[in-house]
Amino acid sequence: MNSKPENLHTSMKNTVKQWFQRRRLTAAFVMLAIVTSGIVVGSVLARGVQGKTIQSGAQDAVPLHVPPLTEAPNNAFAKIAKMVGPAVVNINTESLPKKMQPQARRGRRTAPDDNGDDNGQGSDNFQDFFNHFFGQQSPNGDDGGDGDDDGGARQALGSGFIVDPHGYIITNNHVVDKADKIFVKLSTDPDGGPADLGRPAHVIGVDKDTDIAVIKIDTDVALPTVQLGNSESAEVGDWVLAIGSPFSLAQTVTAGIVSARNRTIDGGAAGQFQRFIQTDAAINPGNSGGPLVDMNGKVIGMNTAIFTTTASYAGIGFAMPSNTIIDVYNQLIGPDHKVVRGSIGITFQSALPNAVKREYGFTQGVLVGSVEPTGPAAAAGIKPGDIITTVDGTSIKDGDDLVKNISSRHPGTTVKLGYIRDGKPGTATVGIADRSKLFANLGEPTNGPETAPQEEKQDKLGITVKALTAEQASKLNVHGGVVITGVKSGSFAEDIGLQPNLVILAINHTQISDMESYRNLINSLKSGDDVALVVRSLRDNSGSNTYVGGTLP
């Protein structure tokens, strides 16, 4: 009885299975047909589109047209360039063949040269800042301009800007320095090719301390001029434009911001009166002497130098502030055509180690390094080691303050100095002299014979010394001291900048008269003591002392 239902069940199962197999096969054929049809249709459509493109050609393309002139909204850069550009000039110079002198690469100065003064001596902390006055001749003598390396006249290129409609132009001194011929090309002058250098110009006056020159061209018509602004209004982050002739490309405009103010790039006489506006506006060879312009269209600086290792733009440029330019210009166009700065006849160190300040007991003021024997400070009784704290009752923060105050005064006037000597306050009335005359005959380094007494063994400082001879003391105009003959690598002495041929004159306020006094001072020192030394170069008879020091490990 059970066999029939089982057979029926099996039969029904097979039937259903066959039905599904037939449906799957049919579905497969249907899907294959659809896909094939799609491929065929797609090919037809593709051919149809392609064929339509070929058939239509470019008949339905709409021609392009140059739109009418429009002014970009709020395009202040373009407005400023149009405003200032006509007064920016291209300056070419020619120098007749001269014997070329090798130029020394700039580098960090050693301790004895790290002096500042109201005459200005100091350290150069920009070790890689070489050949930075890019208006000067490059190693091949052409400053990126049309050089002649075959012994003929050399040409150099720079920029300038007109400040007086009668043809007075401000540029860098290094653009026109030592030039036999100067030519100026206005923005409106036609470009006649390499032979057309421009209109002849002559020098009205120069100031090497600020690298500023005033030149003039003759003109029968009033020339366009720039407007000078107040450089004190420039703030870090302000937009500025640099305009000039980089790489002989006249009327080039670049934009950037003021990236720093009151920047010093050279120490001493080369940089005592140079406090630059720093900018990242692209400045290159040929820009030198061109204007740095603010967003009011006012000239707030003159592009003067760049920081570079390639002689081209590296993101940092320096412009002489307009306030300095105005002061110098007004003096250069005067009857004497020169800049006169006051001086009291002292030298000082622009940067002092903290250990020296602690030992001498001051945080603000100027520690006198040396006193010019024929100067007004010496006549008033100022001595090396005095700390000048005030000028006419005004506190002096550092050497920059002192130089700014004194140099602005007229020779023949007087000032009242407040100072500290051996911890006690004092005052002195000091005359003002002409800086250029007072320091015109500073002593030159000497290289006289040196006799060498017995050297001491290496001491706590890490140096070996010998006694100063009577001949050496006479040349240096000192009464005693010891000469460093060797410095141990990695020692305290090396860390604070001591080196051979420096003469140690005093340690911690105590003068060194001979080897015995030196030994006694050294033996009294212990770890953790502040050590302040007064030193001078054995080969320098200028009378300038340097203060070095640190905390003894």
Give the closest residue to 339 by CA, choosing from 348, 330, 331, 329: 331
Predicted local distance difference test score (pLDDT) of residue 329 = 96
Cβ contact 511:476 at 8 Å: no
Tell whether the model's pLDDT for residue 156 goes beyond 90.
Answer: no
Torsion of CA 136, 141, 146, 151, to 10 degrees: 140
- What would the DSSP string read from start to end of 194-212? TT---EEEEEEEEETTTTE
Tell whether the model's pLDDT for residue 197 goes beyond 50.
Answer: yes
Cβ contact 304:231 at 8 Å: no
Q: Which helix (H) or strand (E) holds 401?
A: helix 399-407
**Domain chopping of the chain, boundaries:** 75-339, 342-438, 463-551
* pLDDT tier, 351 (very low <50, low <70, confident <90, very high otherwise): confident
Burial of 340 (0-12, 13-18, 19+ CB in 10 A): middle
Is the CATH number of domain 342-438 2.30.42.10? yes
Share above pLDDT 90 across residues of the chain, in percent, rounded to a whole number = 38
Tell whether the model's pLDDT for residue 46 goes beyond 70.
Answer: no
Predicted local distance difference test score (pLDDT) of residue 446 = 37
Q: How many helices (H) and strands (E) does the chain have?
A: 11, 28
Predicted local distance difference test score (pLDDT) of residue 352 = 85
Predicted local distance difference test score (pLDDT) of residue 15 = 56
Predicted local distance difference test score (pLDDT) of residue 240 = 95
Top-confidence residue, 474 or 311: 474
Mean pLDDT value of segment 476-504: 89
Cβ contact 418:427 at 8 Å: yes
Radius of gyration for the chain, computed over Cα atoms and rounded to the nearest angstrom: 38
Contacts of residue 485, defined as CB under 8 A and 6 or more positions apart, other chains included, come to 452, 455, 463, 464, 465, 466, 500
Top-confidence residue, 319 or 72: 319
Predicted local distance difference test score (pLDDT) of residue 95 = 81
Among 2-6, 193-197, 296-300, the minimum mean pLDDT is found in 2-6
Residues with a known catalytic role:
174, 211, 288
Top-confidence residue, 18 or 361: 361
Domain 75-339 and domain 342-438, same fold? Reply is no
CA distance 89 to 170: 10
pLDDT digits (tens, 9 = 90+) for 236-258: 999 999 999 888 788 889 999 99
Among 117-126, 131-140, 143-152, the minimum mean pLDDT is found in 131-140
Tell whether the model's pLDDT for residue 179 goes beyond 70.
Answer: yes
pLDDT digits (tens, 9 = 90+) for 55-103: 556 778 888 888 887 666 677 899 999 999 999 999 999 887 655 444 4
Give the closest residue to 289 by CA, choosing from 313, 325, 261, 262: 325
Q: Which option is the CATH number for 75-339: 1.10.8.420, 3.30.70.100, 3.40.50.300, 2.40.10.120? A: 2.40.10.120
Predicted local distance difference test score (pLDDT) of residue 109 = 33
Share above pLDDT 70 across residues of the chain, in percent, rounded to a whole number = 72
Predicted local distance difference test score (pLDDT) of residue 157 = 83
Mean pLDDT value of segment 405-414: 91
User: How many alpha carbons lie under 13 Å from residue 298 in its C-beta half-sphere?
Assistant: 13
Q: pTM to 2 decimals?
A: 0.65
pLDDT digits (tens, 9 = 90+) for 331-341: 999 998 999 99
Tell whether the model's pLDDT for residue 202 goes beyond 90.
Answer: yes
User: Across all residues in the chain, what is the average pLDDT?
Assistant: 78
Is the CATH number of domain 463-551 2.30.42.10? yes
Top-confidence residue, 538 or 53: 538
